[in-house]
Chain A
Amino acid sequence: MIRKTATPANPLDSELLSFAMAADSSQKQKSKGGGGGEKGESGEGPQKLAKKGEKLKEEMDALVDEIDEVLEENAEEFVKNYVQRGGE
């Protein structure tokens, strides 16, 4: 989807674009933080809540599938080989 745009002169721009585009969609779904919107939701009937719970579960299932797709394949070997020297 990024490739549709003309190739920018500076390679940095094209790399950054992928971040910007990815984040655009997220911002539509979630407003940015800042004071408001912190209050817990209340006054919802049990039916509505159940429906909401169901929807949430579907969403989470879809998310798990997506995570599964990108998760490093040879997890056991990968985590075993991930060894760092201490730093600081």
Chain B
Amino acid sequence: MAIPKVMGTEIEYGITVKNDRNFDPISSCVLLVNAYREEHAGKILWDYDQENPLADARGFQVDGEKYTPNQQENIARNKTLENGARYYVDHAHPEYSCPEVTNPYELVVHEKAGERIVEFSRREANTLLPSGAQMLIYKNNSDRKGNSYGCHENYLMDRRTSFKQIAEHLMPFFVSRQVYSGAGKVGTENRVQPCEFQLSQRADFFETEIALDTMVKRPIINTRDEPHADREKYRRLHVIVGDANMSEYTIYLRNGVTAIVLSMIEDGAITKDLTLHDPVRSIKDVSHDPTCTTEIELQNGKRMTAVQMQRSFLEMAESYTSSRETESWTRDVLDKWAFVLDALERDPRELSGKIDWVIKKVMIEHFMERKGLDWESPRVQMLDLQYHDLRPDKGLYYLLERQGQVERVVTDREITKAITEPPEDTRAYFRGQCLKRYGEEVFGVNWDSISFGIGEDPIKRVLMAEPLKGSRAHVEELLEQSQTAADLVKNLRA
């Protein structure tokens, strides 16, 4: 029986400063994340002790230097927020990792809350820049010059499911998923054959099938084995193949469908062999065809379009879900998935209010037609970039949203709440509440632990190896009974 699909996303944002010849991305990132001031965030460490990004899911350990910053640098680069998120500087990008949620709806709410937190800190940071200079942030994945930054999805999986099985079934799923999960991009890069417009921001960057890397020779399936939970019971599937999406509908579908397919893999419900002949080539072929009619070759010699492949997954999902109890959101995701595949087969333009790459493409085409521009025009490239601009007044996605041109999935009230409140049904609730209630005594945080520095006592670390424990139902009473962090530690021991 598949385990609940606890999930989250890590978004790396693009950053630049206009009118600043000395723009330095790292110091700009530090300025940005420190401009977001929650009461205690300025002194809490990110706890690197338990991190192991060099463990490989195929069962071996990779040699390499593990990154551990000194205390001052650690605090300057890492902010743990009261909503349970981590907001930090990753290499030369600001990154927002949303708190753990249990369903795609909440995922949209919390990913969107992240956009607003980054935008709020951008405005604050701007007040500290020299006059005329302006920091700008983009929720996209590429500078169109061969440099890419990621949007990573994470899903909790059962350790008993073999990684080989996961990788085999996910390969054709990820290659074909782009038809609805792509954020759209004008042109190609990374020495890939040219095209005018493609479905994915990222497809040009995948050069190998399975590996541990995320920065060079990017693999379609990433093998990082860092569960941030009980290692004996769980894996955290780390998906690096996706795009940073703006559309709520697209984010919802991307995470919802992927979660269903992962449950099917755990339950052995993938019954068709869709193994691809050449996934690295196919991921680009699918991305480069906005008509979604290109057929790609399977290992068994058959040829199918990406939409047909997704339909095979949908059919298996329908039969899988018909014979068992499912999560409350499953039916809605399956209906939207079917709707989108039907529309893609009729005319992808029908999705111009729902799916990012279609929204972007239709917007650009209208603009080109009215202004007499072509795909090579710098203004067209600007439209692509500015679609992802986080400024509510200048960002083109937000402009379309304001005009009622794109379909909402969640409400602004929910997003606003998620800026300060953690999800209630995962350990993010305990993390967030500890920061709210005992922030003064929180010493360090990681996804699966929180430690307290109480008076002169040694640091006390509370482990949270179960992502579903620490929910409101589990700990509200405990928190109510604990006036101080010392009470909490005492009550936990009792």
User: Which A residues are within 8 Å of any B CB, using their own CB?
Assistant: 12, 15-16, 18-20, 22-30, 32-35, 38, 40, 60-61, 63-64, 66-68, 70-72, 75-76, 78-88
| Interfacial residues of chain B within 349-394, with CB under 8 A of chain A in the complex | 350, 353, 363, 366-367, 370-371, 378-379, 381-383, 385-386, 392-394
Q: Which residue of B lies closest to A61 (CB)?
A: B370
Distance A79 CA – B240 CA, assembled complex (angstroms): 25
Given contacts A86-B147, A86-B149, A87-B12, could you give 19 more A-B pairs where the C-beta distance is less than 8 Å? Answer: A12-B120, A27-B411, A29-B403, A29-B404, A30-B404, A30-B406, A32-B408, A34-B332, A67-B396, A68-B367, A70-B399, A71-B379, A72-B386, A79-B382, A84-B14, A85-B93, A86-B215, A86-B216, A88-B150
Say whether A85 contacts B147, CB under 8 Å: yes
Whether, in the assembled complex, B128 has its beta carbon less than 8 Å from a beta carbon of chain A, the answer is: no
Of the candidates B92, B385, B398, which one forms a contact with A87 in the assembled complex, judged by CB atoms under 8 Å apart? B92
Contact B378 A76 (CB under 8 A): yes
A28 to B401, CA, bound (A): 12
Q: Which residue of B lies closest to A85 (CB)?
A: B92
Q: Distance in Å from the Cβ of A66 to the closest Cβ of chain B?
A: 6
The interface residues of chain B lying within 8 Å CB-to-CB of A72 are 382, 386, 394
**Which one of B119, B148, B214, B403 has the greatest number of beta carbons of chain A within 10 Å?**
B403
Whether the Cβ atoms of B335 and A35 lie closer than 8 Å is yes
* Residue B144 interfacial (CB < 8 Å): yes
| Alpha-carbon separation in the docked complex, A30 to B407 (Å) | 7
List, sorted by A's number, 30 A–B pairs whose CB atoms are closer than 8 Å. Answer: A16-B116, A19-B415, A19-B416, A22-B392, A24-B412, A25-B402, A26-B408, A27-B408, A30-B404, A30-B406, A32-B407, A33-B408, A38-B335, A60-B366, A66-B399, A67-B367, A70-B386, A78-B378, A79-B382, A79-B385, A80-B378, A82-B14, A84-B15, A84-B16, A84-B25, A84-B142, A84-B143, A87-B92, A87-B149, A88-B149
Pair B405/A79 contact, Cβ less than 8 Å:
no
B residues with a Cβ closer than 8 A to A are 12, 14-16, 18, 25, 90-93, 116, 119-120, 123, 142-145, 147-150, 152, 214-216, 240, 248-249, 252, 332, 335-336, 339, 350, 353, 363, 366-367, 370-371, 378-379, 381-383, 385-386, 392-394, 396, 398-413, 415-416, 419
Chain A nearest CB, measured from B230 CB (Å): 26
Would A20 and B416 count as touching, CB distance under 8 A?
yes
B residues near A63, Cβ cutoff 8 Å: 363, 366, 399-400, 403, 405
Please determine whether B379 and A75 come into contact, CB atoms closer than 8 angstroms.
Answer: yes
Does the CB pair B402–A87 fall under 8 Å? Answer: no
The answer to whether A87 and B383 touch (CB under 8 A), given A18-B392, A38-B336, A64-B370, is: no
Inter-chain CA distance A86–B240, complex, in Å, is: 14
In the complex, what distance in Å separates the CA atom of A27 from the CA atom of B410? 10
B149 touches A84 (CB 8 A): yes
CA distance A88 to B14 in the complex (A): 12
B383: chain A residues within 8 A (beta carbon): 67, 71
* B143 / chain A contacts, CB cutoff of 8 Å: 82-84
Q: Which residues of chain B have C-beta atoms less than 8 A from A25's C-beta?
A: 402, 404
Given contacts A38-B336, A84-B92, A84-B149, contact A33 B407 (CB under 8 A): yes
Contact across chains for B408 and A38 when beta carbons are under 8 A apart: no
A-B pairs, 10 with minimum CB distance: A29-B404, A87-B149, A76-B378, A75-B382, A88-B214, A85-B92, A88-B150, A84-B143, A75-B378, A23-B412
Q: A64-B367, A67-B396, A88-B215 are in contact. Are A22 and B150 (CB under 8 A)?
A: no
A55 CA / B339 CA spacing, docked (Å): 25
Q: In the complex the two chains form, what is the Cα distance from A16 to B115 in whole Å? A: 11
When distances are taken between beta carbons in the complex, the residues of chain A under 8 Å from B400 are 63
- Verify B378–A87 contact, CB threshold 8 A: no
Residues of B within 8 A of A33 (CB): 248-249, 252, 336, 407-409
Q: Which of A38, A40, A82 has the most CB of B within 10 A?
A: A82
* CB nearest to B408 among chain A residues: A32
Q: Write out the residue numbers on chain A whose beta carbons fall within 8 Å of the beta carbon of B408.
A: 23, 26-27, 30, 32-33
Q: Which residue of B lies closest to A22 (CB)?
A: B402
A61 to B367, CA, bound (A): 8
Closest to A24 in B: B412
Tell whether, in the assembled complex, residue B93 and residue A84 are in contact, meaning their CB atoms are under 8 Å apart: yes
Quick check: A32 and B409 within 8 Å, CB to CB?
yes
Contacts of A38 in B (CB 8 A): 335-336, 339
Please, which residues of chain B bring their CB within 8 A of the CB of A87?
A: 12, 90-93, 148-150, 215
- Give Cα distance in the complex from A61 to B363, angstroms: 11
Q: Which of A12, A66, A79, A88 is the one whose CB lies under 8 Å from B381?
A: A79
A78 to B144 alpha-carbon distance, docked (Å): 12
Beta-carbon contact of B403 and A66 below 8 Å? yes
Closest to A38 in B: B339
Q: Which residues of B contact A84 (CB under 8 A)?
A: 14-16, 25, 92-93, 142-143, 147, 149
**When the two chains form their complex, are residues B378 and A79 in contact, meaning their CB atoms are under 8 A apart?**
yes
Interface centre among A23, A82, A87 (most CB of B within 10 A): A87
